[in-house]
Structure 1
């Protein structure tokens, strides 16, 4: 009987221990669930706070954006918008004191002034050639690398810059978006229109330092300077004769090719020079 009683007490102790253990496990589970719940709530709060902060930043950014009323482009600074607006207004407050050309940015004027000063601070490490603008050096470097990433889909010609391809495409499309308001002549490049406008304004900003003669294009001045220097950079490949103007070489080449593009409307006789045709016409006019 004592053995049965002792065994019964052991069972009770074990049951009590098991119950306590189950209670403890249940309490532990409840604590863990509570902690997990708190942690989840904490993450939700952080996420909500982050979203609120992000929305607030975006609102502040939108509020601080300066929008162009003409084209809708936005800027982070009022000064940048003001500079951008000059594109629409055509305002160019920065003027070159040497040739009168105007710009909408002071940095563009500073770059332009290097044409007159002869300053070329950007030098090619491959050939030593110098440039007044870093963009010109970057473009030049592609000569050494041979890089021409932009290819015309019409004729397959490749270019180093996308802007060059865009201009080239106008040959195929016939597009000439830049029109003279004086005579309505159109051009594919704004620089060509700018040069053309000097015909109407009479502006000749490029002056020879030797004789004082002025020109409306820098290329014309450059060619004129060969008269003073004696330089004749254009050579005929047929006879080796050299000329100081490319136009003179072009005329000379007609001697070798036999080309006679100028025809008399009176008798049908053809000439290789317009000046020769002009002289010939005097026979018919009696001038």
Structure 2
């Protein structure tokens, strides 16, 4: 009967595993030398060698942590491990005073101060301190979600997000707020919640000084300064700074209108649109101008209206210097410089800079007058014409003379 095939270091899968095993402890060269010594004895088979060395490896794990029972291969690793229990952090950053348990962690941290970012995304050029951070970031572009919940099938891009999610199923809510007795699945969630009570906002934008309770909120805010838009619509290519904005935008394509008015059944894509609509039924106008008494459904409408009195025009065209009271007026104006007239009337082929201008124009052809006066039932093609007309009934003074033909 033939002897088992001698173990050959370079040519077997078993030996590759051994190589990795011994390289981990820096002992490979010594083992290789022992295997090649001519002792005159029959060489062990690969499986026998592997089993023998695994036994030796287990035997070497004689350094046991007295706190948690974990076994380590040498005293140095045990000493480093003990810092988990003792809280010892011997490596301190001389820039900010932050301390670390291991020297490697300190060196990694120092890159924050030096601004060194070695790992760059080849899709958006965003740079990261660690390769692991780049790997996680790339999932934004690939949409990869490798971590799946075995209970509900929901997928996550990061393992920690999956672990946090799984606590929903196990109903583990061990962290309680002593102020309001609300419970949370993680200490981090509790800490973030407590800032509601304390008013603490530890994360500050270095560009505008605005502060936030959560780091993630600051990261999202910074994108407004950088113009970074990570979330792209796969239907039309439009990009957004926040994932929530993309989700809302997708309803334009799907036609989804999840918010329905219980009074008239009209549906809306956004909850804010429904709330605004409800004021039509209640006739509630919460925001009043202290100069002329005109009331508005929205605070933003009142803010815009006040510019009639103050003559304020904060929005400046950088091409011709013309100023505007509202941002949308500036954007519409800038299309004149760009020569953008993308909306065309199919009846007369006249082009317009905005969809709204086209819609208003088309009423000339259709004869549609959707705005009716509640006092005399007279109808108008534009809401602005109706508002101007209603001042006849209310006696409200007109700030600008508006001439229109809408009979």
How many residue pairs were aligned?
227
Q: Structure 1 residues 262, 95: CA separation in 2 closer, same or farther (over 3 Å shift)? A: farther
Partner of 1:73: 99
Matched, 1:109 2:134: yes
Larger Rg: 1
- CA-CA distance at 1:154 after TM superposition: 0.9
Question: Whole-Å Cα distance in 2 between the matches of residues 95 and 253 of structure 1?
Answer: 49
Secondary structure at 1:128's aligned position in 2? coil
Please give the residue correspondences for 1:197-208 in structure 2 after superposition, counting only pairs within 5 Å. 197-208=222-233
Question: Whole-Å Cα distance in 1 between the matches of residues 148 and 281 of structure 2?
Answer: 41
Question: Whole-Å Cα distance in 1 between the matches of residues 293 and 208 of structure 2?
Answer: 33
Moved more, 161-170 or 123-132: 123-132
Secondary structure at 1:219's aligned position in 2? helix
Matched, 1:190 2:220: no
- CA-CA distance at 1:194 after TM superposition: 2.0
Partner of 1:146: 171
Partner of 1:232: 257
Question: Whole-Å Cα distance in 1 between the matches of residues 131 and 227 of structure 2?
Answer: 26
Partner of 1:167: 192
- CA-CA distance at 1:98 after TM superposition: 3.4
Q: 2:93, 2:106 within 8 Å by CA — same for their partners in 1? A: no
Please give the residue correspondences for 1:77-96 in structure 2 after superposition, counting only pairs within 5 Å. 78-89=103-114, 91-96=116-121
Question: Whole-Å Cα distance in 1 between the matches of residues 208 and 300 of structure 2?
Answer: 27
Q: Structure 1 residues 284, 101: CA separation in 2 closer, same or farther (over 3 Å shift)? A: farther
Question: Unaligned regions of 5+ residues in structure 2, if any?
Answer: 1-74, 81-88, 309-396, 402-407
Question: Whole-Å Cα distance in 2 between the matches of residues 215 and 102 of structure 1?
Answer: 20
- CA-CA distance at 1:173 after TM superposition: 1.0
**2:180 aligned residue (152, 155, 163):** 155
Higher helix share: 1
- CA-CA distance at 1:258 after TM superposition: 5.0
Partner of 1:31: none
Partner of 1:286: 400
Question: Whole-Å Cα distance in 2 between the matches of residues 250 and 105 of structure 1?
Answer: 45
- CA-CA distance at 1:121 after TM superposition: 1.9
Q: Structure 1 residues 174, 241: CA separation in 2 closer, same or farther (over 3 Å shift)? A: same
Partner of 2:153: 128
